[in-house]
């Protein structure tokens, strides 16, 4: 097991919203978005919006069985999320999760 740095700390935010009952305002999107699964052909665009990955690294994620979902606004990636079925490591947090 590797040594943990003294500067490592955990930070998190939990958002909760009760979606039933009275007083729940409808959510009206400001822009239309298209949701879809991304593929290796999207590697360049994903690497660009991720900011810290290269297209090669993104392709390695796909080749490793990870899946990515994107929301496109005006044809450009507005947000993304990765799904993995195994253990992943977040190096900067010095943590692994399943």
Please tell me the predicted confidence (pLDDT) of residue 13: 66
Question: What stretches in the chain show pLDDT beneath 70?
Answer: 1-21, 23-24
Let me know if 38 is exposed, middle or buried by CB neighbors in 10 A (0-12, 13-18, 19+).
Answer: buried
Q: Name the strand (E) or helix (H) holding 63.
A: helix 55-63
Closest CA to 33 of 77, 69, 81: 77
Please tell me the predicted confidence (pLDDT) of residue 11: 64
Please tell me the predicted confidence (pLDDT) of residue 71: 95
Please tell me the predicted confidence (pLDDT) of residue 88: 81
């Amino acid at each position: 097991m590797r040594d943990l740095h003294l500067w490592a700390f955990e930070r998190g935010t939990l958002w909760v919203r009760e979606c039933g009952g009275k007083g729940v305002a409808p959510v009206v999107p400001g822009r239309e978005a298209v949701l879809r699964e991304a593929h290796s052909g999207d590697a360049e665009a994903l690497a660009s919006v991720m900011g810290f990955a290269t297209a090669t690294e993104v392709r390695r994620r796909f080749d490793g069985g990870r899946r990515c979902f994107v929301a496109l606004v005006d044809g450009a990636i507005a947000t993304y999320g990765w799904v993995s079925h195994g253990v992943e490591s977040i190096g900067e947090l010095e943590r692994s999760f399943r």
